[in-house]
Homo-oligomer: A and B are copies of this chain.
Amino acid sequence: MAKMNAFYAQSGGVTAVINTSACAVIETARKHKDKIGKVYAGRDGIIGALTEDLIDTSKEPASNIAGLRYTPGGAFGSCRYKLKSLEESRAQYERLIEVFKAHNIGYFFYNGGGDSADTCLKVSQLSEQMGYPIVCVHVPKTVDNDLPITDCCPGFGSVAKYVATSIREAGYDVASMAKTSTRVFVLEVMGRHAGWITAACGLASEKEGEPPHILLFPEITFDEDKFLARVEETIKNYGYCVIGVSEGLRNKDGQFLSESGMRDAFGHAQLGGVAPIIANLVRERLKLKYHWAVADYLQRAARHIASKTDVAQAYAVGKAAVELALKGKNAVMPTIVRKSNRPYKWSIGVADLKDVANREKMMPRDYITADGFHITAKCRAYLSPLIQGEDYPPYKNGLPVYTRLKNVPVPKKLKTEFEV
């Protein structure tokens, strides 16, 4: 293949380490200047490709690219913009290929979750049909940990470490206050469809009685009476109760609890926030004093407490993506392959995108205890390696030093605009 440029874009919700993968893609491409010209990034994800708003990463000094390794969020911007089937979104796919052709782009690296794996596959297929074959490699990323085939997803390990650390710390706080003040603490975490992040909270509890005492998973229908009975039992045994709850907790009608009726003074539904609902329930029914926290973006942006394992894996998949592309592997995704648990060993594998796209990996039922309120030893054995090691960012003035890129635009070549 003649020397061609590469395109890289970030997709969907960002993570503490998606930029680590970006760093790896760019640093690895820079080592192969004989084969890869420039790496262009999409400003605000795939939208940047559709609107021909490309960023020339070659204008960034090596120190800026190295800084991405430590920087949370998406350095080029990400987007929630789903390309549908080839039939429904043909104009979008054709536009992508038109832009790639205009900028001599022969490699497409798409850094995202399930939807972007699907897009990546379709770009590969259509580009072939259109006589401009592009090597398409998906770089896995999602805090939801729900991509198939890969043992885990870069981004998840760092959220997992953050929530486990945070709920452990809050547990020490609540334990101190329980005699005269707060008895129940509720931490709400992400994961609308799968309980991986909720499960990670459970890692903080290593011995009988250690918080969190109760986990509320999106996989387990919320049973108010059973839950309240467990809270009472926990208070009786330990004097306090720490609860981790998924934002995706549902009642028996399949409705999200967070949408089950909290209204403001004007009668508007209040969106988001299952933690206050659980906390209010504890107050109304058990008359216990509570506190609650909603970690929201703090959890997926918490680069200051990233998992070293996660950072290494995020870098490894970015590097592998470029190496796979250089070998002409098309419509693939590098994966994390677990070789052993203790000691934890992993390597990089390869999955065909047709096996990845549009498939979600749910949490196995046997990762949740029979009563539905905690994780099993099997779950712990799976999760524990993913939070191992610290990878602190540099600090200045007492705060982490994160990188803001120059994000210099590539001059446009096409005469047509494209509406997104």
Contacts and interface: CB of A to CB of B under 8 A. Distances in A.
A173 B13 CA distance: 8
A73 to B, nearest CB: 3
A156 B194 CA distance: 37
Contact of A180 (B80, B168, B297): B80
B292 A71 contact: no
A389 B397 CA distance: 8
Given A180-B44, A262-B264, A400 B168 contact: yes
A204 interface: yes
Contacts of A300: 173
Contacts of A275: 294
Interface string A168-210: 1111111111111110010100000000000000011010000
Nearest to A273: B276
Contact of A296 (B261, B291, B305, B399): B291
Contact of A389 (B265, B273, B398): B398
Interface string A35-62: 0000000001101000000000000000
Chain multiplicity (copies): 2
Nearest to A15: B173
A224 to B, nearest CB: 13
A409 interface: no
Contacts of A47: 179-180
A312 B51 CA distance: 53
Given A169-B400, A172-B402, A297 B291 contact: yes
A399 B298 contact: no
Contact of A292 (B80, B187, B294): B294
Contacts of A280: 264, 268, 270-271
Contact of A71 (B80, B172, B398): B172
B273 A169 contact: no
A16 B170 CA distance: 10
A377 B266 CA distance: 40
A252 interface: no
A206 B401 CA distance: 11
A79 interface: yes
Contact of A399 (B165, B272, B294): B165
A247 B178 CA distance: 21
A177 B302 contact: no
A293 B291 contact: no
24 contacts: A13-B177, A16-B169, A47-B179, A72-B169, A78-B176, A79-B177, A79-B180, A81-B180, A165-B399, A166-B301, A169-B400, A170-B297, A173-B301, A187-B298, A262-B264, A264-B277, A270-B280, A272-B291, A272-B292, A293-B295, A293-B297, A388-B397, A389-B398, A390-B395
Given A73-B175, A169-B303, A292-B296, 5 more contacts: A73-B171, A77-B175, A266-B284, A275-B294, A307-B398
Interface of A: 10, 13-14, 16, 44-45, 47, 71-75, 77-81, 161, 164-166, 168-182, 185, 187, 203-204, 206, 260-266, 268, 270-273, 275-277, 279-280, 283-284, 291-298, 300-305, 307, 309, 384, 386-390, 392, 395, 397-400, 402
